[in-house]
Amino acid sequence: MSGRKKTLLKVIILGDSGVGKTSLMQQFVNNKFSHQYKATIGADFLTKEISIDNNKQVTLQIWDTAGQERFQSLGVAFYRGADCCVLCFDVTNEKSLNNLSSWKDEFLVQSNVSNPQDFPFIIIGNKIDVDDSKKIPSLQKKLSNITSNQLGGLNYPVFETSAKDAINVEQAFEVVAKMALQQE
Ligand code: GTP
Ligand code: MG
């Protein structure tokens, strides 16, 4: 049989509360955005089927987590079988940028992946629609310092997005899908 093979890819989105994890997922899956903040409780997923690499169909199962439950373990079952991890920060919130490495560590501890050195992580800096005056000063420099010093000098792909204005959201998740597929 030659039909297209369907692949389910598990993606975990982590990052501080309020950076826009839920908004990114809602924009990507449902093309919706809400200004109202409603904290995510626990974790939940949405799925979306996309085609990448010349018509290969994959289903992204995107797990949205609660930033507020940082110190409360979601349990290993939640992270088990993850194919890609998205580390999010808010380009107006320096603390959320500085916390990227603890989210990475949290993921590695909980997921216990067999290949921590080359597990696919991707970084998203969200809310680029906001006024420049509110953005983290010298963001690029700080981000590259964090990548090389705290995230292990690894060249993770970085996307600057707006869940509000749908900027770079699809592009970011397409790269997520490609990286996840390689991990499978
Ligand atoms: P937790 O569930 O608490 O972990 O937060 P979260 O990361 O899921 O953040 P959420 O998506 O709920 O967004 C937090 C707030 O930021 C909401 O008021 C959103 O409307 C707003 N927001 C999210 N993305 C953007 C964006 O791209 N631009 C702007 N201007 N606001 C955004
Ligand atoms: Mg949320």
pTM, rounded to two decimals: 0.94
Of 98, 75, 87, nearest to 15 (Cα)? 87
149 Cα to the center of ligand 2, angstroms:
28
Pocket of ligand 1 (CB under 6 A): 15, 17-23, 34-35, 37, 39-40, 66-68, 126-127, 129-130, 162-164
| Interface predicted TM-score of the whole assembly (ipTM), two decimals | 0.99
Task: Assess contact for 89 and 15: CB atoms under 8 A.
Answer: yes
Sequence-distant (6+) residues with CB within 8 A of 56 are: 4, 5, 7, 181
- Tens-of-pLDDT digits for all 184 residues of the chain? 444 567 999 999 999 999 999 999 999 999 999 999 999 988 889 999 999 988 899 999 999 988 986 545 566 778 889 999 999 999 999 999 999 999 999 999 989 899 999 999 999 999 999 999 999 999 999 999 999 999 988 889 999 999 999 999 999 999 999 999 998 8
What ligand 1 atom has the least distance to the C-alpha of 27?
A: 24
